[in-house]
Structure 1
């Protein structure tokens, strides 16, 4: 039954579908994205699997190319998703099982890989509510950590993530995987330098709180009432010096054991949920 329905779906859209092999330029582009490189634009990303594609559709991102392997589709849910993707995608390609297995990082591929485009948010175009909460990431190097923080920010309800001094692509496969779809939804704004970000925040009356293990104040002893920016720094070197000019307040997460600090992704998650919980209880 599933095979007949899938064949019918593909036959109805045959005029839009191209069958391609391993040496096609679209596969070359896809492999580059899957290996952490860039595509036609700096915002192109590759996404694999049914779950991730459903998140793409929910987020409403532009779907530039949909690559499907009919031999790998094994459920009615897969056929239903394929139909939605065919409607949304600008380009549609079919590949053999052999090609899909070479592209996929899974033992049993779902049969779907997509090239999509992340939404770009400029600092001037970012519209935030009153009493906004933003997370600032200064110089983070690990795509996994950035993805984890995006996931926590999405879950907690953080309004935006601001990035400074970043060398990691937001389209990096490890970041996308760690974010569990949050990268598709959470507004992200880039600042080339931390100084520019500081000026942007202070000009908008943000109270800035720096996560610093040497801080005297505990993170729960503060009332986060107004526009709030939580700032976490590089995994090895911490925050840029510019953040320590008069104005920002240092906060710490108490450490009661042998370790003197937390992973930056864990620390950012604790801080984000603390602010949201405090505001809800207030």
Structure 2
């Protein structure tokens, strides 16, 4: 039995569970809003394609809706994904016409998952005796946040804190850029720096500010057991409020003509250095 026959058989056997919907259906309206970063619900995000399915399942993420277009299912992996979500999740079927309205991308993608952001016990994370926390202050591009989440996953960074939020974690560029980091890296957003600082202070963190004006290069530091690394906006830098609190400045030495690195790249370098030193490597 080929893929198309298998898919048709699966659809026929599960007609009572599947929901065939149009572009005006609230689920598609929400999906369209998420894809265009216009959704007011900051606790959900959307993924496109099969790449996210294994990560969603592995991390036991809560999925609000699984949406697929039959004409876009071209592999056994796609059929297996439908079977998996039929057990636990509302599954919606859309036509090619609806798919073309939903996305402007000219490819075979026709699978979407609307996923709830995972929830974590932030207090217990901050209380760990040895940990690495990354604070993103006013980062303006969701793609950069996604890159940092990807690095945070790779370095087993304990927590990402966001202050002065100017970009959404739920933006599709962030989701794609994280390459799955959004599924397992704890993220918390603070309304102000003072609340963030108080949590760090009460849990014994040493705060390091990435600043090109620093006198000490990052590789000359012997970091504390509990590190909070603050990265600022490429345009405005780190907010002045951080400098009125106890801190240590570090820098990435620039040997060429450019005065700084992209914030995603700079954060990756620093997180790896800190983590390796914490591990004694």
With normalisation by structure 1, the TM-score equals 0.93
Is 1:247 the counterpart of 2:241? The answer is no
Q: Matched residues in 2 for 1:231 and 1:181: separation?
A: 23
The match for 2:79 is 79
Shift of 1:88: 3.1
Shift of 1:225: 3.3
SS across alignment from 1:22: coil
The match for 1:153 is 152
Shift of 1:108: 1.9
The match for 1:35 is 36
Is 1:134 the counterpart of 2:115? The answer is no
Shift of 1:105: 4.3
Shift of 1:10: 2.1
Deviations 1:173-206 (A, max 9, x none): 1111111111111001111111211111111110
The match for 1:221 is 220
In structure 2, the CA distance between the partners of 1:236 and 1:66, relative to structure 1 (3 Å rule), is same
Alignment gaps of 5+ in structure 2: none
The match for 1:196 is 195
The match for 2:66 is 66
Q: Matched residues in 2 for 1:143 and 1:150: separation?
A: 10
SS across alignment from 1:177: helix
Is 1:185 the counterpart of 2:184? The answer is yes
Matches within 5 A, 1:93-172: 93-121=92-120, 123-124=122-123, 126=125, 129-172=128-171
With 207-216 and 98-107 compared, the bigger mean Cα shift is at 98-107
SS across alignment from 1:57: helix
CA contact (8 A) 1:37 1:172 kept: no
With 183-192 and 76-85 compared, the bigger mean Cα shift is at 76-85
Is 1:2 the counterpart of 2:6? The answer is no
Shift of 1:166: 0.6
CA contact (8 A) 1:65 1:115 kept: yes
Shift of 1:167: 3.0
CA contact (8 A) 1:144 1:175 kept: yes
Q: Matched residues in 2 for 1:137 and 1:150: separation?
A: 11
The match for 1:211 is 210
Alignment gaps of 5+ in structure 1: none
Q: Matched residues in 2 for 1:249 and 1:242: separation?
A: 14
With normalisation by structure 2, the TM-score equals 0.94
In structure 2, the CA distance between the partners of 1:192 and 1:246, relative to structure 1 (3 Å rule), is closer
The match for 1:56 is 56
CA contact (8 A) 1:48 1:104 kept: no
Q: Matched residues in 1 for 2:59 and 2:24: separation?
A: 31
Tell me the matched-pair count.
Answer: 280
Q: Matched residues in 1 for 2:157 and 2:121: separation?
A: 17
Q: Matched residues in 2 for 1:85 and 1:124: separation?
A: 32
SS across alignment from 1:45: strand
CA contact (8 A) 1:145 1:265 kept: yes
SS across alignment from 2:198: helix
In structure 2, the CA distance between the partners of 1:232 and 1:127, relative to structure 1 (3 Å rule), is closer
SS across alignment from 1:113: strand
Shift of 1:111: 2.2
Shift of 1:156: 1.1
Shift of 1:229: 0.5
Q: Matched residues in 2 for 1:88 and 1:127: separation?
A: 33
